[in-house]
Amino acid sequence: MRNIYFQKTYQRAFGTYPLKGAELVSALESAVAVGYRAIDTAQMYGNESEVGEALAALKIPRDELCITAKVHPDNFSEEKFIPSVEGSLRALRLDRADVLLLHWPPIGGDVAPSLRLLERAGKAGLASFIGVSNYTAAMMRRAREIVETPLVVNQVEFHPLLDQSVLLAAATETGIPLASYCSVARGEVFKHALFGEIARDYGETAGQIVLRWILQKGVPINTMSTKPANIAANFDVMDFTLSSVDMARIDRLAAIGHRVVGSRIPWAPEWD
């Protein structure tokens, strides 16, 4: 089966962290109106039932949607894993997730037990595709040894201010593609004049240049915005191509080494 994130419009997903309440509803309305059909949520975000309710109200045909859900590491046990996924699906008003991820690696432990639970959930029909998030290159290699089912993603922090070349090489080696989160580094990218300079040459915005750079690395994107203009611009990134010269100019910013999601997260592994 082909990787879902490379089908239809799903290379561009709308992220729902940290949205809740009226802000979540209005952001999802704007996102759906401009064409987003891939939606990213997680048990950890505490917004699954609100996402489910908002999407139901928007009456999008189920086969147009690609919903990514993520299992909280506190649920990585025989007793909790499947019931927690069933709870997420009830909240999201789905009979199966399109993609189910392990949100973080387990603290200090072997990735094997949680990967086996994930694969079991997929085989039980709770998700069409499975994947991981915040895995290191070594964990990606280990995952390939553990699960038979192809993993469709390792969702990681990915933007031009962070060198993720080790993970990109691991993606090629293992066949587990990356997808980006913090795609605009929560706004940090806009402090760098280069994106504005390149944007003027292409008649695009600085944000669109950043997102296009990510896509041209072969990495599907997750973006979140509360502003209709930003939501529309972030989706509108498929009708131009950055030259190899401009890709290389942006590549050089990786030396800055700006990481948004750092070691304060208890599950954060030792990053590559």
Ligand X SMILES: NC(=O)c1ccc[n+]([C@@H]2O[C@H](COP(=O)([O-])OP(=O)(O)OC[C@H]3O[C@@H](n4cnc5c(N)ncnc54)[C@H](OP(=O)(O)O)[C@@H]3O)[C@@H](O)[C@H]2O)c1
Residues taking part in catalysis:
45
Residue identified by tokens 């990915």 is 158
Interhelix angle 21-34/48-58, nearest 10 degrees: 40
Q: Which of 84, 133, 136, 154 binds ligand X (CB under 6 A)?
A: 133
The count of chain residues that interact with ligand X, using the rule CB under 6 A, is: 26
Stretch that binds ligand X, among 9-17, 109-117, 139-147, 251-259 (CB under 6 A): 9-17
Of 148, 127, 144, the residue nearest 135 (C-alpha): 144
Q: Which of 11, 40, 142, 220 binds ligand X (CB under 6 A)?
A: 40
Q: How far is CA 98 from the centre of its chain?
A: 13
Stretch that binds ligand X, among 3-11, 14-22, 91-99, 195-203 (CB under 6 A): 14-22
The residue at minimum Cβ distance from ligand X is 15
Cα separation, 113 vs 95, whole angstroms: 25
Lookup: tokens for 72: 């909280």
Dihedral sign from CA coordinates of 107, 67, 162, 225 = negative
What's the one-letter identity of residue 74? D
Query: Is there binding between residue 11 and ligand X (CB under 6 A)?
Result: no
Rounded to the nearest whole angstrom, what is the least distance from the CB of residue 61 to ligand X in the complex?
Answer: 23
CB contact set of 21 (below 8 Å; sequence gap of 6+) = 50
> Which phi and psi angles does 149 have, rounded to 5°?
-70, 135
Cα separation, 256 vs 258, whole angstroms: 6
User: Residue 109, Cβ neighbours under 10 Å: how many?
Assistant: 11
Q: Which of 30, 75, 154, 155 binds ligand X (CB under 6 A)?
A: 155
Query: Is there binding between residue 222 and ligand X (CB under 6 A)?
Result: yes
Lookup: tokens for 131: 């994947």
Query: Is there binding between residue 77 and ligand X (CB under 6 A)?
Result: no
Q: Which of 75, 151, 183, 220 binds ligand X (CB under 6 A)?
A: 183
Q: How many CA atoms lie within 13 A of 188 on its CB side?
A: 17
Stretch that binds ligand X, among 13-21, 80-88, 92-100, 114-122 (CB under 6 A): 13-21
Query: Is there binding between residue 226 and ligand X (CB under 6 A)?
Result: yes
Binding mask 93-122 for ligand X (x = CB under 6 A): ----------x-------------------
Query: Is there binding between residue 26 and ligand X (CB under 6 A)?
Result: no
**Residue ranges in 241-270 that form contacts with ligand X under rule CB under 6 A:** 261
Q: Which of 140, 168, 184, 242 binds ligand X (CB under 6 A)?
A: 184
**Positions that interact with ligand X (CB under 6 A):** 15-17, 40, 103, 133-134, 155, 181-187, 207, 222-227, 230, 233-234, 261
